[in-house]
Chain A
């Protein structure tokens, strides 16, 4: 397409002003270097994916679910729990409302990390205590098991790719840490042509992204009894060779066009 690109690492960050656009492929969180890059590029007027606003919303699940509530985006039943109001009666009420187990998420969750399932008060307290170290609020959700989560890639309000993230055998989330080891087990990725994906699925994904922004997102959606509910919207979605890009080959062309516009 006639464009040039360079890789930029931490030692080359002072060169941001030399470029026309920045495409971030690193963990994005407002407290990480990637956010500094995104914000600096944005302030300097460069095109940037992921833009700072998207990072702020996607990296903070509390922000994201509050927007879903405000704009009626169908999502998993969710509660927010404050550090100062964390007591026995509240945990009991949560179990009464959502049943057992429930899913606890740290607001800064990414790549299936900091999402845990708990079935009793002891493990609830143990997980919540860990997640409260970095955030004064955590997210509690109803446990909705499924064989796979839909993953819809969205760029600038259009569907980019659609696939199914299968759960590894006997597991409840796509990426699971091996017991006693630092490595993860990931489920298979089954890719569909975006034109063949269910229309209501794509509409749900686009509605969820519309409350966040116009960047590049990976929307996780569960299909429960024929209804689609949003699990979360991720910025900086994974795009691996022969996985997400298997059926629709124009993914990279569209991203480059968006950056070069």
Chain B
């Protein structure tokens, strides 16, 4: 929680939470649509299940920036996190353990770099919450053809050891009892400050490695998750409590 505290100290005196998730907090909160019509000046905490480019969560951060406000997350980070190559490059630069990756549209290049199985992520404007695992050459051809939209876009390929773990992260906090995973969630939040997201990780040789990050669907956010987010937001504002 050190990162949050620093933000609060350096931020503006007035905090507004903009959320499409019904939070249980006393902190001044508004909806994205109401905020987008306002000219609020102060610090904006944008709590949304989806910050993808051109979606409402993104426009909230953009509006806050154009008004000259400090905002979490920034539009720059919101764009970066959903593009696996940028996510992994920046996360690795900040000391997060990441899986090796290659950005290409060539199956041969992927096979030359990595042994099977391989996990393939799309890097195109139309797919955001999918990936495919290829166990052999034929499956890899199918995965690349489909995720590159018939070789029109590049894909991001990584070697796969074991399984992909899906971890919900709220302000860098997650409910999994695994030090490696918790450390990655904290580090990713420290680097990109995405309040609500799903981390994709691999675990091998006793270590966890970051593979990707995706938006959560609203129905994936359970009542217990809403409680957790609300507590953190209350703590964040300095008005509430955190246990």
Interface, chain A (partner B; CB < 8 A): 10-11, 13-14, 29-33, 35-36, 39-40, 43-44, 52-53, 56, 60, 62-63, 66-67, 70, 82, 84-85, 107-108, 134-137
A199 to B53, CA, bound (A): 37
Closest to A31 in B: B125
A-B contact pairs, 19 of them (CB 8 A): A10-B104, A10-B105, A11-B105, A13-B103, A14-B102, A14-B103, A30-B53, A31-B83, A33-B103, A33-B123, A33-B154, A36-B86, A36-B103, A60-B54, A63-B75, A70-B66, A82-B33, A136-B55, A136-B56
Among A36, A44, A70, the most chain B Cβ lie within 10 Å of the Cβ of A36
In the complex, A29→B123 CA distance in Å?
12
A14 to B173 Cα, complex, angstroms? 33
Give the number of residues in B that approach A within 8 Å (Cβ atoms): 31
Contact across chains for B54 and A84 when beta carbons are under 8 A apart: no
From B33, B36, B76, B93, give the contact of A56 (CB < 8 A): B76
B59 engages A136 (CB within 8 Å): yes
- Other-chain contact of A35, B66, B79, B90, B105 (Cβ < 8 Å): B79
B235 CB contacts on chain A under 8 angstroms: none
**Contact for B154 among A10, A44, A62, A67, CB less than 8 A:** A10
Q: Are B125 and A63 in contact (CB under 8 A)?
A: no
Pairwise interchain contact B125-A29, C-beta atoms closer than 8 A: yes
Q: Say yes or no: is B62 at the interface (Cβ < 8 Å to chain A).
A: yes
Q: How far, in angstroms, from A67 to B56 measured CA to CA in the complex? A: 18
Q: Do the beta carbons of A84 and B33 come within 8 Å of each other? A: yes
Residue among B62, B63, B154 making CB contact with A13, cutoff 8 Å: B154
Supposing A31-B53, A33-B153, A43-B89 touch, asked if A62 and B59 sit within 8 A by C-beta, the answer is yes
**Minimal Cβ-Cβ distance residue in A for B124:** A31
Residues of B that sit less than 8 Å from A by CB: 33, 36, 53-56, 59, 62-63, 66, 75-76, 79-80, 83, 85-86, 89-90, 93, 102-106, 109, 123-125, 153-154
> 9 closest Cβ contacts across the A-B interface?
A31-B125, A135-B54, A11-B106, A10-B105, A33-B154, A30-B79, A13-B103, A136-B56, A66-B66
B54, B85, B154 pick with most chain A CB within 10 angstroms: B54
For residue A31, which residues in chain B have a CB less than 8 angstroms away from its CB? 53, 83, 124-125
A56 touching B103, Cβ below 8 Å: no
B104 to A134, Cβ gap below 8 A? no
Q: How far is the CA of A147 from the CA of B149 in the complex (A)?
A: 38
Taking the nearest CB of chain A, how far is it from the CB of B241, in angstroms? 34
Point out the residues of chain A lying under 8 angstroms from B83, CB to CB: 31, 35-36, 39
- A136 touching B54, Cβ below 8 Å: yes
Question: When chains A and B are docked, how far (Å) is the Cα of A84 from the Cα of B36?
Answer: 12
Report the minimal beta-carbon distance from A94 to chain B, rounded to whole angstroms: 16
What CA separation (Å) do A33 and B85 show in the bound complex?
Answer: 10
Q: For residue A14, which residue of chain B has the nearest CB?
A: B102
Distance between Cα atoms of A106 and B37 in the complex (Å): 20
Instruction: Point out the residue from B54, B59, B154 that lies within 8 Å of A36, measured CB to CB.
Output: B154
What chain A residues lie within 8 Å of B90 (beta carbons)? 43
B residues less than 8 Å from A56 (CB atoms):
75-76, 79
Q: Given known contacts A11-B105, A66-B62, what 15 new A-B pairs fall within 8 Å (CB)?
A: A10-B104, A10-B154, A13-B154, A29-B125, A30-B79, A33-B123, A39-B80, A40-B89, A43-B86, A60-B53, A63-B62, A63-B66, A66-B66, A134-B54, A136-B54
Query: Max chain A CB contacts within 10 Å: which of B76, B83, B90, B109?
Result: B83
Complex CA–CA separation, A33 to B155 (angstroms) = 9
Q: Give the chain A neighbours of B124 by CB distance below 8 A.
A: 31-32
B33 to A40, Cβ gap below 8 A?
no
On chain A, the residues within 8 Å of B89 by CB distance are 40, 43-44
- If A43-B90, A136-B55, A136-B56 touch, does A62 touch B102 (CB 8 Å cutoff)? no
How far apart sit A207 and B124, CA to CA, in the bound complex (Å)? 33
On whether the beta carbons of A85 and B33 are closer than 8 Å, the reply is yes
Determine whether the beta carbon of B36 is less than 8 Å from that of A108.
Answer: no
Contact A67 B66 (CB under 8 A): yes
- Per the bound structure, the CA–CA distance linking A11 and B75 in Å amounts to 29
Q: In the complex, which residues of chain A have a beta carbon less than 8 angstroms from the beta carbon of B93?
A: 43
Q: What residues of chain A lie closer than 8 Å to B85, measured between beta carbons? A: 36, 40
Taking a contact as CB atoms under 8 Å apart, the answer to whether A13 and B66 are in contact is: no
B76 contacts which chain A residues (CB < 8 A)? 52-53, 56
Task: Provide the residues of chain B in CB contact with A44, threshold 8 Å.
Answer: 89
